[in-house]
Amino acid sequence: MPITTDTLRRYAVARTLFAPTTLDRAITRLGFVQADPIRAPARAQDLTLRHRVKGYCAGDLERRYPLLAIEEDFFVNYGFLPRATQALMHPRTPRTALTPTRRKQMDAVLDFVQAHGVVHPRAVDAHFAHGKSRNWFGGSSNASTQLLDDMHYRGLLRIAGRASGVRTYAARVAAEDAPDPQQAMDALVDVIVHKYAPLPERSLSELISHLRGGAPQWAHLRRDALARAKARLASATVDGQTYYWPADENPASRRHAPNEVVRLLAPFDPLVWDRRRFEHLWAWAYRFEAYTPAPKRVRGYYALPLLWHDQVIGWGNVSVADGQMQAELGYVAGKPPRDAAYRRALAEELDRLRAFLHLIAL
């Protein structure tokens, strides 16, 4: 069968919204879960996982993190990924070299962490009194927190867990053998493709470029990694855009038929993350507007794309006040579908969302 826009849309929905499974299996299957600190009504990682993990509730990832073989780290952006995938990016060599003063500070903090096992940033700040420092967005934050973040990025520390949302740190045990650069890059590209396929050619290229953050020591290998990926992946050109996906998958399979299910998706859900693909498959522009000045917002502070069957037909802004959930929905067509099946499916999704937020029991 020919590959069409309809084919790609159904394939994209079916392959990422797989049958709910356990938390560790869902993260392994996704390969990477992007994190974001905003709660509206929950963090992006929780909103992503609730569709893919049986009985998932907001905060489950944070609660169970210490028991899972996963890590917080930077990949193409920041989030959670299997420990084996993180190991492919280390030892990481950042583009900014350490000054002798900074190295001395890190050595002292590392000794402190190793002596205490797991540390909170406040404990480090109280012990060393590093003072304040200007952060990346122009404000002021504890220099100890920035130092810990830098040590985490360099692979000296790992995130041990969170205390009331604040990351705690432990020493990271480095692998004895460094990965082969070419094999590691190919494996990292496969994680990207598996998560975000079908990918437009330009999006594939940009995501591989983003590996400069996760594996800066191999930035010079990205061009060749892209060429090898194009050679081993399946592809087709639709409406003038070339799409890529794993060679062992068939976008035209009848197994990709859409379900009568409504889903409110996270702004960073793999189905909607690629805005270029989103506009091609759904013929309208979705934008994340949390950092847009309120008067300029079109759809809301934290609009969640609204999926019905295989169509993203609108968006929802969800909030909780006095134990009650409020959902304000908007539609691309200006009004909701008129059929009873949609109304029933929407009610079921809102009930699932309430249960996820611990507001009702299902």
Q: Is the pLDDT of residue 133 over 60?
A: no
**Burial level of 124, CB count in 10 A (0-12/13-18/19+)?**
buried
The first and second tokens of residue 172, run together, are 């990271």
Is 135 in a helix, a strand, or coil? coil
Q: Is the pLDDT of residue 141 over 80?
A: no
Residue 283: what pLDDT?
97
What are the angstrom distances between the C-alpha of 281 and each of 113, 198, 199, 219?
49, 11, 11, 31
**In the structure, what pLDDT confidence band is assigned to residue 134 with cuts at 50, 70 and 90?**
low
Of all helices (H) and strands (E), which one includes residue 161?
strand 157-163
Question: pLDDT digit string (tens) for 190-239?
Answer: 999 999 999 999 999 999 999 999 999 999 999 999 999 999 999 999 99
Residue 26: what pLDDT?
98
Residue with tokens 């927190």: 145
Residue 140: what pLDDT?
40
Is 43 in a helix, a strand, or coil? coil
Q: Is the pLDDT of residue 143 over 90?
A: no
**In the structure, what pLDDT confidence band is assigned to residue 360 with cuts at 50, 70 and 90?**
confident
DSSP codes, 306-343: EEETTEEEEEEEEEEETTEEEEEEEETTSS---SHHHH
Residue 302: what pLDDT?
97
DSSP codes, 132-188: EEE-TTS-EEEHHHHHHHHHHHTTSEEEEEEETTEEEEEEPPPPSSPPPHHHHHHHH
Give the mean model confidence (pLDDT) for residues 100-113: 95
Q: Is the pLDDT of residue 135 over 70?
A: no
Q: Is the pLDDT of residue 128 over 50?
A: yes
Question: pLDDT digit string (tens) for 297-340?
Answer: 999 999 999 999 999 999 999 999 999 999 999 999 999 999 99
Residue 176: what pLDDT?
78
Strands ordered across the beta sheet of 324-331: 262-264, 304-308, 311-321, 324-331
Residue 138: what pLDDT?
46
Measured CA to CA, the distance from residue 273 to residue 271 in angstroms comes to 6
Q: Confirm if 4 and 236 have CB atoms less than 8 A apart.
A: no
Tell me the percentage of the chain whose pLDDT exceeds 90.
Answer: 90
312 DSSP β-pair partners: 307
Q: Is the pLDDT of residue 142 over 90?
A: no
Q: Confirm if 302 and 265 have CB atoms less than 8 A apart.
A: no
Q: Is the pLDDT of residue 131 over 60?
A: no
Minimum mean pLDDT range among 72-81, 130-139, 263-272: 130-139
pTM: 0.93
Which residues make Cβ contacts (< 8 Å) with residue 154, sequence separation at least 6?
92, 94, 106
Q: What is the DSSP letter of 99?
A: P
Question: pLDDT digit string (tens) for 58-92?
Answer: 999 999 999 999 999 999 999 999 999 999 999 99
Q: Confirm if 31 and 195 have CB atoms less than 8 A apart.
A: yes
The first and second tokens of residue 313, run together, are 């037909």
> What's the chain's average pLDDT?
94
